[in-house]
Amino acid sequence: MTLTKYIIDYLNNQIDYYISEAQSFKQIVQNYSPEITSVEDATFGIIAGCVYSAFLRAYENEKRTVELADMQEFNRIIKEKAPLIKKAIQ
Over the stretch 21-66, which tens digit does the pLDDT of each residue have?
A: 999 999 999 998 888 889 999 999 999 999 999 999 999 988 889 9
- Name the residue ranges covered by the structural domains of the chain: 5-89
Gap between the Cα atoms of 2 and 45, Å rounded: 24
Gap between the Cα atoms of 73 and 30, Å rounded: 31
Residue 2 above 70 pLDDT?
yes
pTM: 0.90
Residue 1 above 60 pLDDT?
no
